[in-house]
Amino acid sequence: GENVEQHPSTLSVQEGDSAVIKCTYSDSASNYFPWYKQELGKRPQLIIDIRSNVGEKKDQRIAVTLNKTAKHFSLHITETQPEDSAVYFCAASLLSGTYKYIFGTGTRLKVLA
Amino acid sequence: DAGITQSPRHKVTETGTPVTLRCHQTENHRYMYWYRQDPGHGLRLIHYSYGVKDTDKGEVSDGYSVSRSKTEDFLLTLESATSSQTSVYFCAISESTGGGYEQYFGPGTRLTVT
């Protein structure tokens, strides 16, 4: 079946450094790629997304890049802060128009002060 | 919070008993979803709905059924709970917004099957 692979599973960075999380998807029909941040005991929160007709999108300190040829997309967080510590999930839509999504297994990001 | 509530928020039940979880939304969203979240597996889709009485299976639908008789309510039923169904269950909604279809999650229900 279709899947999304996410790496790394854990990531530790020093405060102020950058963090990069990478995902690879298998469904060539995927055209929407959201990223979620989940703090301990909370619900996943949408932080940024990208559609297949765009190669890069930025929102302040976070950015997402998409390479449709290689079927991978990445989350970039610059100038990391302790409050960025959380689990991050990538996702990809399945079969354009069905509004179904498949998620990666998550990356636990720790920002060390 | 996209007007999504889930009930109950916590439940402990015994193996073999039926359990129903409720998702309620107040903003008339067309698409609703049930996911389970387990360590090492991320979020896995159980069932989803694309309208009243219109539902479809996800990747882990065995042992679960759903119903949607009203736009605002999406029910998830475990007909006979098993220990493997101990998990955190999240409801979500999605709405097409002129080229986008962002998905937002409810607060979650922690279910323990003993």
Are B72 and B24 spatial neighbours (Cβ–Cβ below 8 Å)?
A: yes
For A51, residues 6+ apart whose C-beta sits below 8 A from its C-beta are A31, A32, A33, B99, B100
CB atoms within 10 A of CB A105: 21
Query: What is the spatial distance between Cα A24 and Cα B49, in angstroms, rounded to a whole number?
Result: 27
A31 touches chain B (CB under 8 A): no
* Confidence category of residue A76, pLDDT binned at 50, 70, 90: very high
Query: What is the spatial distance between Cα A14 and Cα A113, in angstroms, rounded to a whole number?
Result: 6
Cβ distance B40 to A102 less than 8 Å, yes or no, reads no
Best of B4, B34, B43 to substitute, by most chain A Cβ atoms within 10 angstroms, is B43
Cβ distance A49 to B104 less than 8 Å, yes or no, reads no
Q: What is residue A2's predicted lDDT score, i.e. its pLDDT?
A: 81
Are B8 and B110 spatial neighbours (Cβ–Cβ below 8 Å)?
A: no
Residue B26, token pair as written in the block: 């107040």
Among residues 48-77 of chain A, which lie with CB inside 8 Å of chain B?
49, 51
Best of A2, A30, A39, A43 to substitute, by most chain B Cβ atoms within 10 angstroms, is A43
| A-chain residues near B107 (CB < 8 A) | 43
Percent of chain A residues past pLDDT 90, beyond the cut: 80
| A-chain residues near B56 (CB < 8 A) | 100
| A-chain residues near B74 (CB < 8 A) | none
* Confidence category of residue B9, pLDDT binned at 50, 70, 90: very high
Cβ distance A43 to B105 less than 8 Å, yes or no, reads yes
Q: What is residue A1's predicted lDDT score, i.e. its pLDDT?
A: 74
Q: How far A43 CA sits from the closest chain B CA (Å)?
A: 5
Residue B113, token pair as written in the block: 């099957």
Identify which of B103, B87, B104 has the alpha carbon closest to the alpha carbon of residue B36.
B87
Query: What is the spatial distance between Cα B28 and Cα B31, in angstroms, rounded to a whole number?
Result: 9
Number of H helices, E strands in chain A: 0, 11
Locate the chain B residue with the closest alpha carbon to A48: B102
Residue B59, token pair as written in the block: 């990747």
* Confidence category of residue A20, pLDDT binned at 50, 70, 90: very high
Q: Is the pLDDT of residue B63 over 90?
A: yes
Are B89 and B107 spatial neighbours (Cβ–Cβ below 8 Å)?
A: no
Strands in chain B per DSSP E: 4-7, 10-13, 19-25, 31-38, 42-51, 54-57, 64-70, 73-78, 87-94, 103-105, 109-113
Residue B18, token pair as written in the block: 């039926």
Locate the chain A residue with the closest alpha carbon to B6: A43
Q: Is the pLDDT of residue B99 over 60?
A: no
Select the more confidently predicted residue: B106 or A93. Answer: B106
Q: Give the mean model confidence (pLDDT) for residues B18-38.
A: 95
Query: What is the spatial distance between Cα B85 and Cα B83, in angstroms, rounded to a whole number?
Result: 5
For tokens 């998620």, name the residue.
Answer: A103
